[in-house]
Structure 1
């Protein structure tokens, strides 16, 4: 009884602070995050253990991005036409419920391709999720929403070793099949909860009314390039989007080939490597509780995030193989550096982008951003797979170069901005 009262009070307090939709989205996030972490860390190894080559793993990943690129063209229109709530539920079924079922029974390359095709439709519910999360939330509360959501996801990451325990008992393929069945159950439950608890946003209702007219439908499609022009003219948005794309590009490559690198090249145990995501979660939680809320100069922290990821990549590249003391220390250092970097860049970039985008144009702008982002992401899996087949260190050399360029480019941009600001002040004084 007391537990039920606590839940009601906590949920009511969340609604009062950040709004109903944001509260529902954050609190139900574990239903998505837990199975995602359990499966995603071992996805590449799951395919490789069934005879799929490292290069084919990259192709499977890239197929998803082809579908995402096509779906993203229509995502803004679909979300405005159907509404945020309907879009997120419908496309969650397409991009998560169906893929989890296919992954649970997949035994060959083409079955994974089929799952990847459905998974690519997730771009629509990703945009709808972003709209649901922030549109009825006041700007001053959005940093709390993103921070709280990140904490929920990171806590879910602590359960990654469960996959390792299952693998040590049942071997990799049967264990991950079970994880996929669990994911299927979680996602069906999540959609039922969202159906009853989510409400259409105010902006969403306006857009649904606008989308009923044929003239508006035509305008929604023809406004695609106008949205592109708006983004290009907005220097802040352009820079934030480019940085976000660079981070996500490297994340895809790292996500695909990090565990294969640890197990095949450094000869770590398949079940044992599941402990590294848990360490990442610990570091990220410490960052979210003690560092992120105290950040004042966000630009300097973004620079630090890029530099830390670059250094972490170099440490991983030069780590010796085998479970020797030096190797373990270097890999643990890599995990810590990357965890700090990801936490900084994810929170700061997400918050800055959310605040820089106008609510009335959010669906269209985020739709265009996702289209452009997906086009850029499409070769990530193929590039990562090709580099891995040349040398297991190849993907991480590539990542280190990208982050170094990102650091240098953002540093240069800040210097130009400061000089312009100083020149403007000098002109005003004269």
Structure 2
């Protein structure tokens, strides 16, 4: 009990107050219902007559609307405030699509839902600002770690969704889970709105943009874009996020393919190794992360994490078929790497964007991130068609680039600058 009380993550959780605390603690209210229905959404679409081609088209359509919403999100968040924007857009972009999916009858329903859901990037920008703007910088890494922990632990509820599907049938179970998801998102939005307040920076931006229209604010993006692409810390952190998200895209799409083809395992065994990775990642957040993740010395955890990623992908490429031991080692290395790299990249980006223009800079950053990440699903598909290991060799190359970027970029938190001034 004493170890838990003195653990840095639990200490941060106790010290968090007000809006940052509410933003962190309400996250499971979204993550749990999402992980109940999300793994089955594609097969649910197939069961309702949506073709494979339309599933791909709907996914691409959603990506287009994500880019649009990411671009306009900063202006909307500044104009109407982080708190109000998040509350309204959570209801519109998550609760409403859940209901449309729940009562879907054909492809048209999913097209409409994808278009509405694609605007969730507005909610994401507002949520990010609400999370970090009033938080102490020393808490940022641990706050992001808790967000990752909640996300990973929420995935443990996916088998419960499978139980409902198995016992009630795919379509009836999904309709029920999606209605439940809509209700839970409403509750999450209401609780967060009730227990948070507008950030100081949000109040300032609302005052500054009171007499400006959304169109005029979008017109001012030229200076924001220049600020982003002239900022080496932002570009460095963004590059690291692009690399890790390309990996997530490739791994999420082709790990199962490699697992059942080259490695020779059965489909039914996939869930076992996915669960193992989630467990290792969760343990890593509590055991490895607090000892290494530090914004003042960010290079060591990033290098260790990228080395773990590289080794895990190398094992997948070169291991013989049906080698359970080597596959377990690969999964453990990947899980440990996630616990180091994920919270650090998010934190580095948050610190790099420490400016009064956080909302609009976030909008430009996330739009750029989506644009750079999106082609790699197609690229990985072409590589996989030639050889199933090539997407993972591409990942290895990306992690080498990431390690070099970590050496090159220079992000100094305020605490580091303060120490320099004192010394």
1:105 deviation in Å? 3.3
CA–CA separation in structure 1 for the residues paired with 2:329 and 2:53: 28
Partner of 1:142: 140
SS at match of 1:251: helix
Partner of 1:299: 299
Partner of 1:423: none
CA–CA separation in structure 1 for the residues paired with 2:106 and 2:380: 21
CA–CA separation in structure 2 for the residues paired with 1:173 and 1:246: 37
SS at match of 1:158: helix
Q: Deviations over 1:335-381 (max 9, x none)?
A: 33332222222111011111121241211111110111222234355
Partner of 1:397: 390
Is the 1:312–1:337 Cα contact (8 Å) retained in structure 2? yes
Q: Pairwise CA RMSD of aligned residues?
A: 3.2
CA–CA separation in structure 1 for the residues paired with 2:169 and 2:261: 17
CA–CA separation in structure 2 for the residues paired with 1:260 and 1:415: 34
SS at match of 1:113: helix
Q: CA 1:380–1:103 in structure 2 vs 1: closer, same or farther (change >3 Å)?
A: farther
Matched, 1:36 2:34: yes
TM-score scaled by structure 1?
0.80
Q: 1:369 aligns with which of 365, 372, 376?
A: 365
Is the 1:62–1:381 Cα contact (8 Å) retained in structure 2? no
Q: CA 1:96–1:397 in structure 2 vs 1: closer, same or farther (change >3 Å)?
A: farther
Is the 1:55–1:385 Cα contact (8 Å) retained in structure 2? no
Partner of 1:227: 224
Partner of 1:165: 163
Q: 2:178 aligns with which of 180, 186, 201?
A: 180
CA–CA separation in structure 2 for the residues paired with 1:183 and 1:130: 22
Partner of 2:421: none
Q: CA 1:362–1:115 in structure 2 vs 1: closer, same or farther (change >3 Å)?
A: same
Q: CA 1:218–1:156 in structure 2 vs 1: closer, same or farther (change >3 Å)?
A: closer
Partner of 1:286: 283
SS at match of 1:114: helix
Q: Which runs of 5+ in 2 are unaligned?
A: 1-10, 411-423
Partner of 1:93: 91
Partner of 1:250: 247
Q: Please identify, of 126-135 and 272-281, the stretch whose mean Cα deviation from structure 2 is larger.
A: 272-281
Q: CA 1:339–1:171 in structure 2 vs 1: closer, same or farther (change >3 Å)?
A: farther
How many residues in Structure 1 have an aligned counterpart in Structure 2?
Answer: 396
Q: CA 1:264–1:166 in structure 2 vs 1: closer, same or farther (change >3 Å)?
A: farther
Q: CA 1:248–1:204 in structure 2 vs 1: closer, same or farther (change >3 Å)?
A: same
Which structure 2 residues correspond to residues 266-277 of structure 1 after superposition, within 5 A? 268-269=266-267, 273-277=270-274
Q: Which runs of 5+ in 1 are unaligned?
A: 1-12, 419-430
CA–CA separation in structure 2 for the residues paired with 1:285 and 1:377: 26
Partner of 1:192: 190
1:386 deviation in Å? 6.1
